[in-house]
Amino acid sequence: MPYFANTRLVAVDPALPDAAIIWQAADVLRAGGLVAFPTETVYGLGANATDAEAVSRIFSAKQRPASDPVIVHIADPEQLARVAARIPDLAHALAARFWPGALTLVLERGAAIPPNVSAGRATVAVRMPSHPIARALIQAADLPVAAPSANTFSRPSATSAQHVLEDLNGHVDIILDGGSTPIGVESTVLDLTGSTPVVLRPGGVSLEQLAQIIPGIRWQPRYLQTDEDAASPGQMIKHYSPRAPVRLFNGERSAVIEVMKQIARDEIASGRRVGMLLVEQDREAFEDQPLEVVSLGSQEQPEQISASLFAALRELDHRSVDVILARGIGREGLGAAIWDRLVRAAEGRVIEV
């Protein structure tokens, strides 16, 4: 089978995935090719997780450094024993509560999973997605599916098939277009291989939800300039970045808005196009300035914000802005994941007001 000679974009109804299309995509996976598919978090770029050569194609397609491990997706909890070893009781308890869903568990790597999936580590990250297209595909392939987010490395994750095409046209065999992904930020990554569970990345399952099973669990933000820290891959600061630099402002709302208005004025005065990532409630404050505004939805509805965040960053790229200004909002629930993605989009440039 030719790999990526041309990328096929195929529409699939998430309510009732067409069996013939799913079967064709599963064939591509079995033959060592790449299939991009929607999950409830973001689109994934999938390959047979038991085939080292297929997995290496993911890294080249994304231009992802081989040091950053990828997540293995399964379709039912029984598959867990095929990909991981010495699974602790806590993993079973978390799986029972949160799978299928946006929680990834880092466990001891099973013998069926080649080392390049985990960038040579003895561990493996596993998740069972809930999206019907993802599940149908993994079931039809009857394989664990290695899949990072379907974006070029360090770009905002893809939350629509169009985003996947933007980044990976000609580098993937099939894109299953199931519309926009509902959660919009990636899964929560929880490392269970140490003496205590560690949140490596906040995501679609909130810390408050995790605390129902692991009382007191916290997230200790840790951002690295390079990926040299082998214990904590994927925590590099430059990630999810649009082309224009993002400046993230944090502090009391009205004070932050005043500072943002002044900076927007200065930027415009020096001839730059200014993009604004705003919640609905903040729009009015900026109406008197010629700005490229993209709304993230209501501040009271973090699930709207997470669903629109990556598309909003890409939209501002399309509008060719020179700089993007954003305001940090609450960190409860999904807010922790939203904050993390904004900090990384800003490459750590947080301006405390």
Q: Which does 233 bind (CB under 5 to 8 A by kind): Mg ion, ligand TXA, none?
A: ligand TXA
CB within 8 Å of 266: residues ≥ 6 apart: none
- If you ran DSSP here, which 8-state letter would residue 224 be given? B
- Which lies closer to ligand TXA via its Cβ, residue 103 or residue 257? 103
- Which lies closer to Mg ion via its Cβ, residue 130 or residue 149? 149
Catalog residues that contact ligand TXA under the rule CB under 6 A: 39, 41-42, 44, 68-71, 102, 104, 106, 118, 121, 123-125, 127, 129, 147-149, 186-187, 189, 191, 200-201, 233-234
Q: Does 187 bind Mg ion (CB under 5 A)?
A: no
Query: What's the first-to-final CA gap in the chain, in angstroms?
Result: 56
CB within 8 Å of 38: residues ≥ 6 apart: 14, 44, 131, 133, 134, 161, 176, 177, 178, 179, 181
Q: Which does 316 bind (CB under 5 to 8 A by kind): Mg ion, ligand TXA, none?
A: none
DSSP E strand stretches across the chain: 8-11, 35-38, 43-48, 71-73, 84-85, 103-109, 123-127, 145-146, 174-177, 188-191, 198-201, 246-250, 274-278, 292-295, 323-327, 350-352
- Which lies closer to Mg ion via its Cβ, residue 243 or residue 272? 243
- Which lies closer to ligand TXA via its Cβ, residue 83 or residue 260? 83
- Which lies closer to Mg ion via its Cβ, residue 104 or residue 149? 149
Q: Which does 70 bind (CB under 5 to 8 A by kind): ligand TXA, Mg ion, none?
A: ligand TXA
Q: Taking contact as CB under 5 A, which single stretch among the options 80-88, 114-122, 144-152, 312-320 is the one that binds Mg ion?
A: 144-152
Q: In angstroms, rounded to a whole number, what is the distance separating the alpha carbons of residues 134 and 137?
A: 5
- Which lies closer to Mg ion via its Cβ, residue 282 or residue 347? 347
Q: In angstroms, rounded to a whole number, what is the distance separating the alpha carbons of residues 346 and 327?
A: 11
Report, in Å, the least distance between residue 78 CB and Mg ion: 27
Contact assessment for residue 29 and residue 137, using Cβ atoms and an 8 Å cutoff: yes
Q: Which does 121 bind (CB under 5 to 8 A by kind): Mg ion, ligand TXA, none?
A: ligand TXA
Report, in Å, the least distance between residue 320 CB and Mg ion: 24
- Which lies closer to ligand TXA via its Cβ, residue 57 or residue 127? 127
Q: In angstroms, rounded to a whole number, what is the distance separating the alpha carbons of residues 202 and 192?
A: 15
Contact assessment for residue 223 and residue 323, using Cβ atoms and an 8 Å cutoff: no
Q: Which does 12 bind (CB under 5 to 8 A by kind): Mg ion, ligand TXA, none?
A: none
Report, in Å, the least distance between residue 208 CB and Mg ion: 24
* Binding test (CB under 5 A) with Mg ion, winner from 149, 181, 193, 304: 149
Q: Does 181 bind Mg ion (CB under 5 A)?
A: no
Q: Which does 41 bind (CB under 5 to 8 A by kind): ligand TXA, Mg ion, none?
A: ligand TXA
Residue holding tokens 């001839």? 271
Output the residue with the shortest Cβ distance to ligand TXA.
234
- Which lies closer to ligand TXA via its Cβ, residue 200 or residue 257? 200
CB within 8 Å of 104: residues ≥ 6 apart: 71, 125, 126, 127, 187, 188, 189, 190, 203
Q: In angstroms, rounded to a whole number, what is the distance separating the alpha carbons of residues 304 and 166?
A: 23
Q: Count of residues for the chain?
A: 353
Strands 174-177 and 35-38: parallel
Residue 13 tokens read as 């109804």
Report, in Å, the least distance between residue 42 CB and Mg ion: 8
Residues that bind Mg ion (CB under 5 A): 149
